[in-house]
């Protein structure tokens, strides 16, 4: 996160808000001036984070992680059912 008083919670809230209120891509802040701009909280079109890119490789890694977690959950649920 960037900007005055930005915490993990405010960053998550800003990204969630941007995802739910706009169909525009989230690119983050492109200027270092955000650190000194007291009105930065008024522009909700982009969350207070540094500019970033999500690549196909990032998406593939996340999909793999989700599959691994789903598999572990399935195994845990099966073990629980067998135990009862």
Give the domain ranges of the chain.
1-53, 55-83
Give the model confidence (pLDDT) of 37-69 as tens digits. 666 655 566 677 777 778 999 999 999 999 999
pTM value surpassing 0.85:
no
The DSSP result for the chain, as a single string, is --STT--HHHHHHHHHHHHHH--SPP--B--GGGGG-TTGGG--SS-SSB-----HHHHHHHHHHHHHHHHHHHHHHHHHHHH-
Output 30 or 66, whichever has higher pLDDT.
Answer: 66
């Amino acid at each position: 996160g960037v900007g005055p008083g930005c915490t993990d919670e405010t960053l998550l809230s800003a990204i969630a808000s941007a995802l739910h209120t706009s169909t525009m891509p989230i690119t983050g802040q492109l200027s270092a001036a955000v650190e000194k701009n007291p009105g930065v909280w008024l522009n909700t079109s982009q969350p207070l984070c540094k500019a970033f890119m999500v690549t196909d490789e990032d998406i593939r890694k996340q999909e793999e992680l989700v599959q691994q977690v789903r598999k572990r959950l399935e195994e845990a649920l099966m073990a629980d059912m067998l135990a009862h």
